[in-house]
Amino acid sequence: MKPGRDTIEQRMRTFNAACARLGIKITHQRMEIFRAVISTEEHPDAETIHRWVKKRIPTISLDTVYRNLRLLAETDLIAIVGMSQENLRFDGNAHPHHHFVCVRCGMIRDFASNAPDSLQTPKTARVFGEPLSVHLEVKGICTGCRGDVRR
């Protein structure tokens, strides 16, 4: 579901608090980039976010957008998800949730489920580092793409 005004305001408050806590300077650019990520359910890539932010800050470069996204992704404010279509995608939903990923068009949407909460982090994953969370990725063909097939 597209984030409502309340959700966006809540996420902006979290952003301000987290930046203060972590010593991240709140610049106009950084704030607009964050707002773009958290105002959508689309899990956009950096190019898409750049296109949106440019409407408010015409001079902003893709490189600046990308560097800020990487910085924010090092906090818990946004997350990097899947690498569908070769691009990193960014997620503004900081609450635990799972993803439906369309293998055809790259659509990513959030869904909630209790099922994976009972999953323990597999020991075999610890070989690579300290696990932070477990999340479920359901791959499929989205309703939009399935509609195309039937025609």
Contact residues: Zn ion, CB under 5 A: 91, 93, 102, 104-105, 107, 110, 142, 145
| 54 vs 104, beta carbon nearer Zn ion | 104
Q: How far is the CB of 45 from Zn ion (least distance, A)?
A: 13
| 136 vs 145, beta carbon nearer Zn ion | 145
**What are the structure tokens assigned to 115, written together?**
């099922």
**What are the structure tokens assigned to 75, written together?**
């906090």
Q: How far is the CB of 129 from Zn ion (least distance, A)?
A: 22
| 32 vs 91, beta carbon nearer Zn ion | 91
Q: How far is the CB of 70 from Zn ion (least distance, A)?
A: 18
What does the chain look like in DSSP terms, one character per residue?
Answer: ----HHHHHHHHHHHHHHHHHHT----HHHHHHHHHHHT-SS--BHHHHHHHHHTT-TT--HHHHHHHHHHHHTTTSSEEE--GGGS-EEE---S--EEEEETTT--EEEE--SGGGGPPPPGGGGGGS-------EEEE--HHHHHHHH-
Q: How far is the CB of 15 from Zn ion (least distance, A)?
A: 17
| 127 vs 149, beta carbon nearer Zn ion | 149
Q: How far is the CB of 126 from Zn ion (least distance, A)?
A: 24
Q: Rounded to the nearest 5 degrees, what angle is found at the Cα of 85, between the Cα atoms of 84 and 86?
A: 90
| 53 vs 107, beta carbon nearer Zn ion | 107
